[in-house]
Every structure is written in C-alpha cells, then in structure tokens.
Structure 1
C-alpha cells in the first residue's frame, strides 16, 4: 500500500486530500502517508496533534471513514498487534494500575472539565429527547437513571465511578436518598467533597474491589469501560455482593459492536489508559448467573451531539482563558472529542444502559 492507495481509499468514502469541503483533509506534511501506513490511527492522531494535517470538520471526516470501514484496512499494523498482546496476556486494569487513568486523564485539571462540561460535571452521554441544551439533556439523563432505579427516599445508593459527584448530588437532593460514591481520581473526589455541603453523600477514594457493605441500589456510569475483560467477572461478583436481594443495579457504558481485546492505540496512549469497550456478548456473559437482565437501552446516537457540545465548549473555554493548555494538548482534546463524535454518528460505537436485578423484579420490570 502506498500514498496513491490511501488517496483512493479516501476518495471511495467521499473524502479528498486538500479539497474544499469541511470533511476534506488538508495535508501539510507529505510524510503523513508513511506514518499512517506504519502506525495506523496512532500515527494519524499524533500527526494531527503535531499539525501535519487539518480538517475543519473532524467529526464528519471520521464518520465517513468509519462508515466506509477504512479503519479495518489498518487493523494489523505493528502498534495494534503489540497492544493486542498486552491486553491478552496482562491484566492492565489490576488494582495497582487502577489509578493510572485518573492520573493520565481525569486529574488533567478540573478547570478544563468545568469549561467543557455542564454545571453538574456530567462526563457521560446526555439524553437529548425533547430538549436542546446540554444542561437540560444531562439533567434529563440523571433523572432517567433515578426513575429506572425506582428510587425512594431513604434508600442507600452506591455510585461506582462517581466522577465529580454530580449524579450523586442530584439523587440525594431530588430523591432523598443516601449516596456513597467511589472514584480513583483524587481531583474528582476533592471536587465532589467541596460541592456537596448539606447533602447526604460521602465520597471514597478507592478501587471498587475493596468496597464493602450492602446497598439498595447500585449505579455505575461511564466506569465499566475501565474495568477490562479480565475483570468483568470480578466486577459483577463485587456488584452482586454489595446489592440487597431486592435491589437494582443500573450499568451505563459505551459498547462495541463486536468483541475486542484491545483498544484504539491512540486513545490508549493519550486519553483512557488501559481502557477497553465491552460487546453485547461479553456483557451478557458476565451478567449470566449473577443477575436477571431487566432492561437494555441503547441511546448511543445521543453521544454524537454530547461530544460536539463538549468540543465547542472546550474551544470557547480556551479562547476565554478559563483554562491553560498547549496547542498540542488542545489538538489532542479536539481530536479525541470529534473523532469519537464521528464514531457514534457512524454507529460504530454504542451507549447502553442496563438494569439488572439479583433475582428478578416481582411481576416484571417496566422502564419508566
């Protein structure tokens, strides 16, 4: 494969080199083609960060590339194979490595995330049905979670991977429940503590595997992507041990259309260290024998709009001086947000909410 082959491949999905349309790419360094051939998306992403190429609409570019299946042509480059070997033979999400994603990404700086996210600091897919602002869509998502969990005042709720505490605060304030949240990010834990005055909440800085106690409801939003396939059974066993016999567990996770044992090398290196996405079969297998599947809801198309909002907020926040970052870091964040938006738009990625119960809801479960 050579430069001309890459140009033909892009042309097959209606993308031109140095073309006039927003999704066409502008190449500033001809070494880009060799870098992509050798390192696939790792090379493509690093070249973008370094200014070797540009695109006015990265989300549209990636949507076209993924819908056309072009990424499959570069699946077995050396970096991808090395990443696969690591995931197959090592537990990259072991307890002593669990903090790595926090240090690498979530502790990047609360000022960045305050500028990028809504006021509740929700770093997960919003639910856009019938609303048109990020603030309203995230509030609607939180309320949908509460209604799916059939929350009642006085219940004890455990939030595994609580982030900056926005969902826990909402549950405690709006539904009168007692919330315990756990995170491996010191920056997130401190933010949650600083913004929870007067609420029945507590925040723990620890790994989920060390949790004890019994809770009426469990919720985990955007954390399962960091668990790793070698730990799925451990995670589900721990969740089952923490949940009351008549409890409910809502699991909110990005999902893949087919099983993978490694993650995109660029995402792994620059964004979510040691992360991996579950598939339908892997999720089903780890739930079998532990839970009854009460509900499975896919609203992955909503993540496209959420990510585009975050990208626009990031651009605006940097322009207004709400945070400081280098040009390379700025391009890294935008590549991450908009490439993921394109992946959800192409339906290459999904967003699932599962409702699980230990022994089945008497009379059946009806999604509120």
Structure 2
C-alpha cells in the first residue's frame, strides 16, 4: 500500500522541471511492489536523505543504489530485509541497465577479465584490505566461506561443521595429499592437517592471506603458495576449492576443470564449493564488481555442466544457500561489534560500503536469488557408488 506522499525536499523543488518528481514517483512505485514504503517507518523502508538518489537509482541501477547508500543519500535500518523484499519481486529487472553494466558486459565478451595477468587484482583489492578486518569479522579459524548450520548454534560451530563435512565428503584419510585451490588464511589446510593428518598444499592470489596462513599452519604438513591455479602441474589424492570459483570467470571454467583433472589422481575426488546463480550470465552485479570483487562472476548450473561434461562424473550436488544468510549475518554482527577498533584504519564511507556488502548479500541469499553449492566430482565414477553426506 502506498502512503500519502511526503512534501518535496527543498532541493527537489529546485531541480529543473518535473524530473525529480517523476524520478521519485517511479522509485516509490517500484518499492511499493515489494512492500517497501518510501520514507516509511518499517525497518526495511528506504528513507531518502538526498533527492539526487532518485534519478541516480533509476539511471544506474544496482550501482547507483549502492553508491548512493555509500554517499549517505539514503538510509535503511534493515538493509538485508530491504534487499530480500526487492529481489523476491525481481525489482532489479524493472530498472534499465546502466552504462557501467553495459560496458562491463561488453568488456567481458571482448576480453578475458580473469586472465593470468589479471588474476591477482581481486587479491589486492579485497583480500589484502588488512588481516585485522577479517580477524574481527570471521570465526577464529578465519574461514571466509559459508558455514554449515545444521546442528550449529553459532558461527564457530557452523564453520567447523563445514570443514569437517568437506573432509568427509572426499573421504580424507591420514597421509592423503590434498590441494586447496584458493586456500584463504589456511582454515581448511589447518583443519585437514590437524584433524585428519593430511598433507595439504594451499594456493592463493593474496599476499596477506599467504603470510598469515603460513603462520597459522606452522608445524603442520602444510605448504602455502602464492600461485595461480593454471601453473599447477603435479598430482594430488584429492582437491578442494572453497569459495574461489567465483573469481575464475566464465571464459576460464573449462580451463579450470582441465587443470583440476590433470592434477587429480584417477581414484581421487574433487569438491567444489561455490556460490551459484539461478540463471546463466556473463557479468556480476555492477556494484559488487566495482567495490567488492572486481572481475568476478557466479556460475550457473548450465555453465558448470558444460565445463565438467567432457571428463567428469557428477557424484553429488548439495545446495545449502540458505545457510549463507546466517553466515553473513554473523559476520555482520562481528563487524559491528568490532567497528570501534577498526575505525582507526577505515573511514565512514568504507563502513557504509562494508555494511551494504554484508547485509545485501544476506538478503540475496534469503531471497534465494543466489545459491551455495558443494559439488563432488570423480574422474570415472566411484566404483561402488558415492554415498552422499549431509
């Protein structure tokens, strides 16, 4: 239900012609479809503080929405629920594609945005923001992927559950040599070595991650490398990749699967843990691309199927995307709780950006707009059949 219109802000009346009134009316109409009231009093309502937000949102879509929030042009008490409600009625499809999104799509078609020469960009932009930020936000192992919340009461247990689930899904045994593609700060490597007596090689494209992972895994049979996956030419009993495939890029999915295939022994298992999209696409969200994960992209079922079809046997496909909502909300609670100590290193605009990132992603998973998949693949099929674990 649309409430009575509020009086125009003085700046709105100063805008030329009826442009501001029309932009505001369009935004109000769109939000009403999602049960969001413009300048309403529900926690998920959008409260506009600067009227320039209206045309910016309409002309730039998700990029304009996010950047207007970063600039303090609008507020929302419960951003996660705002996004959840907007995505449930597909509001993003009602706003025209911005020039940035169009250019991003064209650029992705013409060039390989995740080539070896560009592979380290996301590490420098996102993962090298400072280990203190992630230490404050994540669990004690610094596991920067979705937790598994079955029988878990808190983030710590959910992440332990996830790491153990991965080990059990690949049938990890003492002495097995495991490759962890995108090892982060070494949480899986440390857990697999300490709990299952495995030998682990972890690779990352982040210098900050590699340095801390080596410290965390000191004294364990773990090797941490600063290395691109395409440079791997050795054999492992099992291979896992937790939350790295989102940086591979659609042009490289086939190459990625070929690299894993050549590095996995014949009877080994490969576990891929990745966020997934409901529909095939060639670009990521424009705001996420510019401010959080440059050059990334979420695979669809069709894109993954095409990449694995020639050589692999699909043993298991597990979707627990709803658990990412819980994980992100736990990360956000930690971030808020530690902001006083982080504020000395990051400004207010970063705070708004990071808040927007965590909460809008939680809302997207809550709306089931994006998924979290764990996929188990084998080279020729497990002889007596694979037993799915949950």
- What's the TM-score bracket when you normalise by the shorter of the two chains? over 0.9
**Structure 1 unaligned regions, length at least 5:** none
User: 1:173 maps to what in 2?
Assistant: 194
Does residue 49 of structure 2 align to residue 21 of structure 1? Answer: no
Moved over 3 A (4+): 320-323
Contact 1:112-1:323 within 8 A present in 2 as well = no
| 1:55 to 2:76 alignment | yes
Q: Deviations over 1:108-149 (max 9, x none)?
A: 000000000000111010000111100000000000000001
Q: Does 1:162 find its partner at 2:199?
A: no
Q: 2:230 maps to which residue?
A: 209
Structure label with greater radius of gyration = 2
1:132 and 1:80 map into 2 onto residues whose CA distance is 40
Tell me how far 1:4 sits from its aligned partner: 0.5
Structural RMSD (CA): 1.0
Equivalent of 1:220 in 235, 241, 246: 241
Quote the residue 2:252 is aligned against: 231
Query: Is the contact made by 2:58 and 2:96 (CA closer than 8 Å) also made in structure 1?
Result: no
Cα shift at 1:289: 1.2
Does the 8 Å CA contact 1:318/1:324 hold for their aligned counterparts? no
The residue aligned with 1:151 is 172
Which whole-Å CA distance do the structure 1 matches of 2:107 and 2:164 have between them? 39
1:330 to 351, 364, 385: 351
Higher relative contact order (CA 8 A, sep 6+): 1
1-side partners of 2:59 and 2:329: how far apart?
A: 30
- Tell me what 1:118 maps to: 139
Residues 86-106 of structure 1 deviation map (CA, whole Å, 9 limit, x = unaligned): 111110000000000001000
Query: What SS does structure 1 have at the residue aligned with 2:359?
Result: helix
Deviations 1:276-317 (A, max 9, x none): 000000001101012100000000000001001111111111
TM-score (norm 2): 0.93
Q: Report how far residue 75 of structure 1 moved.
A: 4.7
How far the C-alpha of 1:335 sits from its partner, in A, is 0.4
Secondary structure (helix, strand or coil) at the match of 1:66 reads helix
Give the alignment of 1:44-83 within 5 angstroms.
Answer: 44-83=65-104
SS at match of 2:346: coil
Shift, 1:319, TM fit: 2.3
After TM superposition, the score normalised by the length of structure 1 is 0.98
Number of residue pairs matched by the alignment = 368
Report the secondary structure of 1:244's partner residue: coil
Establish whether residue 286 from structure 1 lines up as the match of residue 307 from structure 2: yes
Kept in 2: contact 1:317–1:323 (CA 8 A): no
For structure 2, which runs of at least 5 residues remain unmatched after alignment?
1-21
Residues 250-300 of structure 1, C-alpha deviation per residue, up to 9 Å, x if partnerless? 000000000011111110000001000000000011010121000000000
Match of 1:298 in 2: 319
Question: 1:322 offset after TM fit, Å?
Answer: 8.0
- Taking a change above 3 Å as real, the CA distance of residues 156 and 88 of structure 1, as seen in their structure-2 partners, is same
Contact 2:321 2:370 in 1 (8 A): yes
Cα distance in 2, alignment partners of residues 219 and 75 from structure 1? 39
The Cα shift of 1:367 comes to 1.5
Aligned to 2:124: 103
The corresponding residue for 1:142 is 163
Kept after mapping to 2: 8 A contact 1:112/1:322: no
In 2, Cα distance between the equivalents of 1:346 and 1:208?
33
Q: What are the superposed Cα offsets for residues 150-179 of structure 1, whole Å, 9 maximum, x if unpaired? A: 001010000000000011100000001100
Q: Which residue of 1 aligns with 2:368?
A: 347
Q: Is the 8 A contact 1:111 1:323 kept in 2?
A: no
